Structure 1
Amino acid sequence: MAELLPLLRDRRSIRAYDETHVLADDELAVLLEAARWSPSAGNSQPWAFLVGRRGDEAHRAFVELLAPSVRRWAPAASALVFTLNQVASGPEDDALGYSDYAQYDLGQAVAHLTVQAGALGLGVHQFAAFDHDGLAELAAVPRHWRVTTGLAVGLAVESELAERTRRPLSELAFAARFGTPVAL
């Protein structure tokens, strides 16, 4: 039987970051490149990112928008990255529904960024507990884009890693009918 890549098997959603780690320019660039090269419907690449590195003005402003539950751990990450997906062709287009797959495509881009972070020895924690409208206003996000999620990126404090659990495949993968397990 083929083995799951350790990079995927060992991934964690980090809540304790090394506050001395600095995300280098080349590391940030390769993370964003990993997202950029992700597949998308019609090669539309309907995603964008807002990036703040710990200590810079963007990071300080982003921290103010975090919910208290996230503010307890995310500011220590080397970078806060916020994701956006395109919802219309342009700001004058009131018809939402630019692509039925834009959020899916964004999810793939974030997954690629997350795997690349793991290859660099970094951890990523995705979150949604922040002021989405406040971030859109702060960053002057155009009307045809939607603020979606946040990512904390940095070097994990190993002693803080919790045991990882997953639901069994029998609850996730089905044959021709929902609830009918796939024969493996």
Structure 2
Amino acid sequence: MADITPLLADRWSPHAFDATHVISDEQVELLLEAARWAPSAMNRQPWSFVVGVRDSDTFARLRTAVSGYSDWALDASALVLGAYENAGTGPDYALYDVGQSVAHMSVQAEALGLHVRQFATFDHAGAAREFGIAAPWRPIIMAAIGLPAPGQKPEGRSRKPLDHLTPWQ
């Protein structure tokens, strides 16, 4: 069997980021473009983002939702807040879909030599207030993006055995 692409096999999430790394506007645009092309149920594309690059006003506003929750993320080159739009009626796959969009963003980051660490430990209500995110929208995830801090490396990375993915077969 062929190996999976190194973009997936070598991907890892740092616990600390290089506070001196600067992400370019072009890299941010490519990350958003990758998220834009993620598949979604009925092509709803129920995701939107707030992107703050370090030292920007948006980063400072995102920082208030992160501080005291996930302080390790504050050295990242960029913080991204992901929100989803609830469908209202019928089956709602928006959470699954926003996850796919962030996964696409993560793989694109890897292709750019960047790393992403997704996290849910932030002030969700505070972020919603700060950016005027109201129903049917809901902030659900944040991602820290940049280069690993010096000395950071993928230690102890493991996954369940492949046969654990298909327990009912």
Question: Please, which runs of 5 or more residues in structure 2 have no aligned partner?
Answer: none
Question: Please, which runs of 5 or more residues in structure 1 have no aligned partner?
Answer: 89-95
Which residue in 2 is equivalent to 1:128?
Answer: 120
Cα distance in 1 for residues equivalent to 2:102 and 2:125: 21
Q: Aligned pair count?
A: 168
In the alignment, is the contact (CA less than 8 A) between 2:23 and 2:78 conserved in 1?
yes
- Taking a change above 3 Å as real, the CA distance of residues 99 and 20 of structure 1, as seen in their structure-2 partners, is farther
Which residue in 2 is equivalent to 1:79?
Answer: 78
Cα distance in 2 for residues equivalent to 1:128 and 1:105: 16
Deviation at 1:142, TM superposition (A): 2.7
The RMSD of aligned alpha carbons is 1.5
Secondary structure, in 3 states, of the residue corresponding to 1:33? helix
Which residue in 2 is equivalent to 1:9?
Answer: 9
> 1:5-51, CA deviations, whole angstroms, 9 ceiling, x for partnerless residues?
11101111112211111111110000000000111111111000011
Deviation at 1:158, TM superposition (A): 5.4
- Taking a change above 3 Å as real, the CA distance of residues 99 and 45 of structure 1, as seen in their structure-2 partners, is farther
Deviation at 1:97, TM superposition (A): 4.2
In the alignment, is the contact (CA less than 8 A) between 1:62 and 1:135 conserved in 2?
yes
Cα distance in 1 for residues equivalent to 2:90 and 2:137: 10
Q: Identity percentage over the alignment? A: 46
Secondary structure, in 3 states, of the residue corresponding to 1:166? coil
2:98 is aligned with 1:106: yes
Larger Rg: 1
- Runs of 4+ in structure 1 deviating by more than 3 angstroms, as ranges, are 96-99
